[in-house]
């Protein structure tokens, strides 16, 4: 458990941004980049984006060496990665949920969400959201079953199980990464 996996030059936190965080961004991006290749092998198609929940992150990652034990504290659950194919209507439900919750639920960098007082604009992979299109979303099996009231993931058009624990995909990524790089970026912009 004390094996050093990687290093971070700063504390990675759950609450250091507005509706996003350094830890949440890192977790979503790691899961997305690692799972996308697995999904492509199974389906020959890419994943559109990843979304998880704030509550899945159970600890911070402090500055310094990152050990196996630290990742088990961060992610003590045995949640598995799944990809859901859902309608544009469910994507709208997902975004409305995200805005209403007003928490830093981890979203991958494929999302560009701009929120103002009465509306929002959404781009997925640089393209404007199309309400008539289906999208593929990476998440955990806990959330897909409606956990944390994320009911928009239930009853998808298609469900692909990746047979990979969220924790394991993070550990495998860290083993290959000397120093972590993450930031608060423009994936979520709040306009007053």
- Please give the class, per CATH, of domain 4-190: alpha beta
**Mean predicted confidence (pLDDT) in 50-74:** 95
62 and 77 Cβ atoms separated by less than 8 Å: no
- The band of 170, judged by pLDDT with boundaries at 50, 70 and 90, is very high
- What is the reported pTM? 0.95
Quick one: 92 exposed, middle or buried, by C-beta within 10 A (0-12, 13-18, 19+)?
middle
Beta bridge partners of 121: 114
Arithmetic mean of pLDDT, 75-90: 96
Band (4; pLDDT cuts 50, 70, 90): very high
Confidence tier at 89 by pLDDT (50, 70, 90) = very high
Query: Looking at residue 109, what is its pLDDT?
Result: 96
CA 41/CA 115 separation, integer angstroms = 35
Residue 131 above 80 pLDDT? yes
For residue 106, name the pLDDT band (cuts at 50, 70, 90).
Answer: very high
How far from the centroid of its chain's Cα atoms is residue 100's Cα?
18
pLDDT of residue 192: 72
Question: What residues are paired with 66 via a beta bridge?
Answer: 6
DSSP string, 115-129: E-SS-EEEEETTEE-
Average pLDDT over the chain, rounded to whole? 95
**Whether pLDDT at 186 is above 80:** yes
Residue 24, pLDDT above cutoff 80: yes
C-alpha closest to that of 53 among 191, 178, 176, 152: 152
pLDDT at residue 118 tops 90 = no
Residue 117 confidence (pLDDT) above 90: no
Q: In what order do the strands lie in the sheet with 158-165?
A: 49-50, 135-140, 80-86, 158-165
Measured between alpha carbons, how far is 89 from 130 in angstroms, rounded to an integer? 10
**Predicted local confidence at residue 11, as pLDDT:** 96
Percent over 70 (pLDDT), the chain: 100
CA distance 107 to 123: 13
| pLDDT at residue 1, rounded to an integer | 80
Answer yes or no: is pLDDT of 169 > 90. yes
């Amino acid at each position: 458990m004390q094996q050093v996996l990687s290093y971070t030059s700063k504390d990675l936190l759950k609450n250091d941004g507005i509706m996003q965080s350094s830890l949440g961004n890192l977790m979503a991006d790691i899961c997305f980049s690692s799972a996308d290749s697995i999904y492509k092998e199974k389906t020959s198609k890419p994943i559109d984006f990843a979304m998880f929940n704030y509550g899945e992150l159970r600890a911070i990652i402090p500055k310094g060496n990152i050990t196996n034990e630290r990742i088990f504290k961060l992610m003590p659950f045995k949640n598995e990665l799944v990809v859901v194919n859902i309608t544009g209507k469910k994507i709208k439900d997902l975004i409305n949920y995200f805005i209403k919750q007003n928490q830093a639920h981890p979203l991958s960098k494929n999302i560009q969400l701009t929120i103002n007082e009465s509306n929002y604009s959404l781009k997925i992979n640089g393209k404007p959201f199309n309400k008539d299109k289906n999208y593929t979303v990476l998440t955990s099996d806990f959330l897909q079953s409606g956990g944390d009231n994320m009911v928009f993931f239930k009853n998808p058009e298609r469900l692909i199980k990746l047979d990979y624990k969220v924790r394991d995909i993070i550990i495998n990524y860290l083993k290959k990464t000397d120093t972590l790089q993450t930031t608060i970026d423009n994936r979520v912009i709040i306009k007053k």
